[in-house]
Structure 1
Amino acid sequence: MQLFIDSYGAYLGVKDEMFWVKPQHSTPQLVAVPKVKCIFLTRGVSVSTNAMRMAIENSIPMLLLDAIGKPIGQVWSGQFGSIATIRRNQAFFAESNKGIDWIKKIIEAKVLNQIQLLKYYEKEQKSINPYLLDLEIEYEKLRRKVIDFTLPKSEIKATLRGLEGFSGKCYFKALNFVLPKNWQFPTRSTRPAKDMFNCILNYMYGMLYSFVELSLMKAGVDPYVGVLHADQHRKPAMVFDIIECYRIYVDEACIALAQHELLSEQDFQRLDGGGMWLGNSGKPIVIQYFSKFLEAPVRGKKEKHKRTTQIDLDSFALATILKKYNHE
């Protein structure tokens, strides 16, 4: 299980060799160590050093999240899950032609996932999505794009980012079409979100960043050395790269939340000057729903892996590529 502690004034400690979770205004509970895969903490939560130590000794990552659920730091043993050769090769791979080929496939997979999701809802809702064709055209442009490796890597990456960005605009227009009227939005918005759908989208993306970063670390891949996304101080560039394959998990979960009306306007906090955050009543609903969603099998796959397992399998597959990569 993923242990999320997100109520202000809550406390995480140790009792009887188990994690002891004490919310400020409700009954404490004990959680057995073997059940916990990861611990997520939000602002206003207190943690004992005994709880930190028990997490470290049992290889349980402890992540600190910001207001929209994105990880800002973590407590861990400082040891990657595999040999240093992977991370040495990763730096060369990030600037290689093979690295460019790899990230192009990642982007193609992302857009294809989006098309398949929209087609699923076309069939489900028995209606033609007028924006789907635009996305399919952009996918064909991307798929047929032949990389000219004589060009500077920066120029190649800028071209790929441009294709990805335009397909993203087409996608969100089409995605908006499948939503209930009260959940539709005029444009994609991030910090802060301008509407309810973008609000839960941003929060779940933040959760997803945590899962992907931990998965890479377990596999021995450095989350901070990416291919498409530029290396920036304290920015996990490889997470930004590989997460593109899994954004569809968030999109699908958010659509389901909206369609089943599991949240109302009272679950959001409006900000001065416009925008909104997910409120205290909404966070537990989103966290619980998305956590269960990630533990369910991937829809349509022949091999029925949990979504979290699929992320881990892909991280270890990338680690294998990096381990065998010959940069000479």
Structure 2
Amino acid sequence: MQVYLNSFGTYLHVRDAMFEIRVPGEGGENTVHHLAAKKVKAIILTVAGAMSSDAIRLALVHNVDLILADRSGQPLGRFWHAKLGSTTKIRKRQLEASLGSEGLAYTGRWLTAKLAAQCDLLHSLRKHRKAHHELLDERRERIAALSAAITSCVTDGQRTGDVAETLRGLEGTAGRLYFQTLSALIPKQYCFAGRSSRPAADPFNAFLNYGYGILYGRVEKALMIAGLDPYVGFMHRDDYNQKSMVFDFIEPYRPWVDWVVFRLFSRKVVGLDDWGALAGGITLLKPGKEKLIEAMGKFFEGEKVRHGRRNRCRANAMLADAHRFAQELLEVEVGDVEIMEV
């Protein structure tokens, strides 16, 4: 079980060798939860709550991850166990996987999942766009073929570095087809020539870039909570202070941001007050940022999707995927991830 303490005034301490969580209510009475330490895998504590030293000690004895996060949920740090714990084993296995063919298998899985999500998004657009059925079907077929080509690159004995340029080329071609299609389906005044960043060349890309920035933070949070190292990637280079695994693991979730931004433009929610000129491009202004942050919050936390055997919000689905990845690296039985928020 993953326990999130994100209610203001929440207090975690120990009673009868169990974790006791007290959550203050509006009427002054506390709601109390009791949890056996052996059933808890991680405790994520925001600045809104507090924890006793006895609770920290009990967590360390039972190898429970303790993570301190800021108000947005971004990890600030973690308590390390004095004994060899699962986090150490996970990161060692992650490094080993990055050096062999195992890393290529994961890279192929994430890239094909991204292209599958792009195809799903294009398919969903057919419903109310009969005039574009031929275009949407043709683009989905071509992207699916590129996905099959990526799969064919994942062969035994090869490492990611052996085929990295080929993978980037296939992914890039799929991306150009995909974004050309999205551009053709939004209001004409917002059509764009393709992906651009630092800075964005148009309003649609300005929204995408800001949305991807939000997503980067969410992915890093999920990786850290699962005990993974954000800096040890499989495909992206391990440059100094570059969070390579974040750039790898984020790929299947990028179409989530694309969908949020597409809806804002297709429904004409955005306007000229949402962006402004920047040297060489376009930047989002405060109203545009607020619209995107609100829309992404609803998309990630307010809507539930079928994920495995459960209905989950997308934020928790991503966290469960990170835990599944960590469990697979450890070669342990992959189980479901239970999440409790108080």
Taking structure 1 as the reference length, the TM-score comes to 0.74
Greater strand fraction, Structure 1 or Structure 2: 2
Pick aligned residue for 2:255 from 248, 253, 257: 248
**Partner in structure 1 of residue 20 of structure 2:** none
Evaluate the alpha carbon distance shift between residue 140 and residue 219 of structure 1 in structure 2; reply closer, same or farther with a 3 A threshold.
same
Evaluate the alpha carbon distance shift between residue 57 and residue 216 of structure 1 in structure 2; reply closer, same or farther with a 3 A threshold.
farther
Cα distance in 2, alignment partners of residues 255 and 152 from structure 1:
36
Shift of 1:85: 0.2
Shift of 1:263: 1.8
Q: Deviations over 1:119-175 (max 9, x none)?
A: 110222223252652452242243252434455642222221221111111111112
**Partner in structure 2 of residue 76 of structure 1:** 77
Pick aligned residue for 1:279 from 270, 276, 285: 285
**2:234 counterpart SS class:** coil
Cα distance in 1, alignment partners of residues 24 and 229 from structure 2:
27
| Cα contact 1:107–1:244 (8 A) shared by 2 | yes
Cα distance in 1, alignment partners of residues 304 and 178 from structure 2:
21
Evaluate the alpha carbon distance shift between residue 298 and residue 227 of structure 1 in structure 2; reply closer, same or farther with a 3 A threshold.
farther
Cα distance in 1, alignment partners of residues 46 and 319 from structure 2:
25
**2:238 counterpart SS class:** coil
Shift of 1:256: 0.9
**Partner in structure 1 of residue 322 of structure 2:** 315
**Partner in structure 1 of residue 141 of structure 2:** 136
| Cα contact 1:135–1:170 (8 A) shared by 2 | no
| Cα contact 1:231–1:237 (8 A) shared by 2 | yes
Evaluate the alpha carbon distance shift between residue 300 and residue 261 of structure 1 in structure 2; reply closer, same or farther with a 3 A threshold.
farther
Q: Does 1:89 align with 2:93?
A: yes
Evaluate the alpha carbon distance shift between residue 55 and residue 77 of structure 1 in structure 2; reply closer, same or farther with a 3 A threshold.
farther
Pick aligned residue for 2:171 from 134, 140, 164: 164
Cα distance in 2, alignment partners of residues 322 and 150 from structure 1:
18
Structure 2: runs of 5+ lacking an equivalent: 1-7, 11-22, 26-44, 52-66, 333-342
Q: CA RMSD in A?
A: 3.1
Cα distance in 1, alignment partners of residues 86 and 251 from structure 2:
24
**1:233 counterpart SS class:** coil
**1:75 counterpart SS class:** strand
**Partner in structure 1 of residue 37 of structure 2:** none
Cα distance in 2, alignment partners of residues 237 and 271 from structure 1:
28
Cα distance in 1, alignment partners of residues 283 and 79 from structure 2:
33
- Identity between Structure 1 and Structure 2 (%): 31
Please list, as runs of the form range in 1=range in 2, the aligned pairs for 1:1-328 lying within 5 A after superposition.
54=47, 59-62=67-70, 75-77=76-78, 79=80, 82-127=86-131, 128=133, 130=135, 132-144=137-149, 145-149=152-156, 153-272=160-279, 274-297=280-303, 303-324=310-331
Cα distance in 2, alignment partners of residues 310 and 287 from structure 1:
19
Give the greater-gyration-radius structure (CA). Answer: 2
Deviation beyond 6 Å, 4+ runs, structure 1: none
What amino acid is aligned across from residue 249 of structure 1 in structure 2?
W
Structure 1: runs of 5+ lacking an equivalent: 1-15, 19-31, 35-51, 65-72
